[in-house]
């Protein structure tokens, strides 16, 4: 059976903890789905457990990312590999609520191109996490909602569902961090394509270390923040930006991190 939703999970040395993550998804997601566990290297500690899960359940697929290391490349590769018309990106650390994957996917099936799980709309909540990161994320989300009319109060959250055809049309330029959620929301906004949101309760990860580096990723977030403001663009204009702008952005980020 062709899946209705591809669940893309970038993983990095999650080890045995991935078993609990996937078990929750298998238990809570009711739509026909595939789970893509995207890793950057064969020696990742997640791989043996991912292969065990795949042997036990045909819906689970360990996938080796060949686009380059880092969460952005892993997510980009996962969406490109997805078989379903809807791709949901979620984290392996237990911060996202898998019970909401069905609702996000159904919003895309109804016609939105980006469906966001929002921490900052009524009914949403963020529990834990670095204080500065929380402040900046909330400020960015609310200001984009008020002034750029992006359709969600939480444009920076990675927990989103996408129309895979839309993503393949506009492309993904991000190459380093977790700014893909903001990038695709920004592109949908400039195209005047529908974006929707549902409230979510986000919990800071309990195991392992976060890969989020605020100083390193901030230039990319600022770039897409400001991109949300502007005149309407066409798909052709958005797609034409891709390779050249992605390379320029990568070079700038390398200089900043260096």
Q: What is the distance between the alpha carbons of residues 32 and 36, in angstroms, rounded to a whole number?
A: 14
Contact 140, 225 (CB under 8 A): yes
Q: What is the distance between the alpha carbons of residues 88 and 100, in angstroms, rounded to a whole number?
A: 10
User: Pseudo-torsion of CA 161, 166, 170, 176, nearest 10°?
Assistant: 20
Question: Quick one: 232 exposed, middle or buried, by C-beta within 10 A (0-12, 13-18, 19+)?
Answer: exposed
**What is the DSSP secondary-structure string of 62-123?**
EEE--S-SSHHHHHHHHHHH--SSEEEE--TTS-S-GGGHHHHHHHHHTT-SEEEEESSSTT
Question: Quick one: 139 exposed, middle or buried, by C-beta within 10 A (0-12, 13-18, 19+)?
Answer: exposed
Say what the pLDDT of residue 210 is: 53
Contact 74, 81 (CB under 8 A): no
Say what the pLDDT of residue 250 is: 41
Say what the pLDDT of residue 213 is: 58
Say what the pLDDT of residue 209 is: 55
Say what the pLDDT of residue 244 is: 47
- Mean pLDDT in order along the chain per 10 residues (258 residues): 94 96 97 98 97 97 96 96 97 95 98 98 90 90 96 96 96 90 97 98 70 68 95 92 51 42
Say what the pLDDT of residue 130 is: 78
Say what the pLDDT of residue 129 is: 79
Say what the pLDDT of residue 150 is: 97
């Amino acid at each position: 059976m062709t899946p209705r939703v591809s669940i893309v999970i970038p993983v990095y040395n999650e080890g045995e903890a991935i078993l609990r993550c996937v078990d929750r998804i298998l238990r809570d997601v009711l739509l026909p789905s595939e789970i893509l566990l995207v890793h950057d290297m064969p020696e990742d500690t997640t791989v043996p457990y991912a292969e065990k899960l795949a042997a036990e359940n045909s819906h689970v697929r360990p996938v080796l990312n060949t686009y380059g290391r880092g969460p952005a490349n892993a997510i980009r590769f996962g969406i490109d590999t997805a078989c379903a018309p809807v791709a949901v990106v979620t984290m392996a650390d237990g911060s996202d609520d898998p019970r909401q994957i069905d609702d996000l996917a159904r919003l895309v099936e109804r016609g939105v191109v980006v469906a966001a799980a929002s921490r900052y709309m009524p009914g949403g909540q963020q529990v834990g996490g670095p204080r500065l990161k929380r402040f900046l994320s909330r400020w960015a989300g609310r200001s984009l909602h008020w002034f750029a009319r992006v359709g969600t109060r939480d444009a920076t959250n990675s927990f989103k569902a996408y129309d895979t055809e839309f993503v393949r049309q506009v492309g993904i330029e991000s190459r380093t961090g977790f700014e893909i959620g903001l990038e695709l929301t920004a592109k949908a906004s400039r195209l005047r394509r529908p974006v929707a949101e549902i409230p979510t309760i986000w919990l800071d990860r309990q195991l392992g270390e976060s890969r989020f580096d605020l100083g390193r990723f901030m230039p990319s977030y600022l770039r897409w923040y400001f991109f949300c403001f502007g005149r309407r663009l066409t798909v052709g204009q958005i797609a034409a930006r891709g390779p050249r702008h992605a390379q320029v952005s990568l070079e700038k980020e390398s200089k900043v991190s260096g």
